[in-house]
Amino acid sequence: MKNTLLKITGFFALAVLLVSFTNSPKINSLKIGKKAPMTNYEMKNVSGEDYSLEKLAYENGILVVFSCNSCPFVVGNKEMEGWQGRYNEIHDLCKRNNIGMVLVNSNEAKRTSADSFTEMQKHSKNQKYDAAYVMDVNSKLADAFGASTTPHVFLLDKDLKLVYKGAIDDNVKSKSSVTKNWVKDAIISSGKKEPVLLPETRNSGCSIKRL
């Protein structure tokens, strides 16, 4: 009897999991070569100013990084260094290649906790972010781009067309162990107005917390 109940319980648990997975909204990611949507959509920066991608773009484009305050892939933990410690270095490389950069927080489901605007301001100050850090209300920009994780990066060229999307590099655990600097390579190529040799990689991170 006990085994039968365990089997039934397991069956229903699996059924619930499958229904939950099936009902999850499908995220259609922006395709390489396509013009980015919502480039004039204004978002509040931690400074209090409103910025759009068009305002923040430089002559050779803009790097859009979907980020947050709470994901260990961004902020790190005992097992991994996290990627945010590389943000300012990437920002400097963008500037040298005449490319803008923005960090976008789309974690709408955590606005009353770790990813509130006040916490974003504190986090940006503590981390000494050089790039603008903006709040994407109701995950509108993330939905339009098809961003799925924190972090998830999208590099747009001078015409605001997508030339690279995916991960920052191949080692979230340790910067010193990185062997493939995907986003840096893409920035340098785009700055030279050359094709990006590897335009897409698999992004890793926590899921964006949509409502």
Please state, for a pLDDT cut of 90, what percent of the chain lies above it: 87
* Confidence (pLDDT) at 208: 98
The mean pLDDT value of the chain amounts to 91
For the cut 80, the answer to whether the pLDDT of residue 211 exceeds it is yes
- Say if residue 204's pLDDT is above 60: yes
Which tens digits make up the pLDDT trace of 9-49?
443 333 333 333 333 356 789 999 999 999 999 999 999 99
pLDDT for the residue 201: 98
> Which residues in the chain belong to E strands, given as ranges?
43-45, 50-51, 62-67, 100-105, 132-135, 149-150, 152-156, 162-166, 206-207
Contacts of 45 (CB under 8 A, 6+ apart): 51, 132, 133, 134
At residue 190, the pLDDT reads 97
pLDDT at 26: 63
pLDDT attached to residue 121:
98
Mean pLDDT across 195-200: 98
Please tell me the least confidently modeled range out of 22-26, 70-74, 130-134.
22-26
Residue 138 binned pLDDT confidence (cut-offs 50, 70, 90) = very high
Extract the tokens encoding 163: 């030339």
The pLDDT of residue 11: 37
Q: Is the dihedral of CA 49, 50, 53, 58 positive or negative?
A: negative
Token readout for 172 is 């979230």
Beta bridge partners of 133: 103
Q: What is the pLDDT of residue 197?
A: 97
- State residue 27's pLDDT score: 74
Q: What is the pLDDT of residues 144-177, one digit of tens each?
A: 999 999 999 999 999 999 999 999 999 999 999 9
CA angle 70, 71, 75 (to 5 degrees): 80
The better pLDDT of the pair 115, 14 is held by: 115
**pLDDT over 50 at 5, yes or no:** no
Going by DSSP bridges, is the β-strand pair 100-105/149-150 parallel, antiparallel, or unpaired?
Answer: unpaired
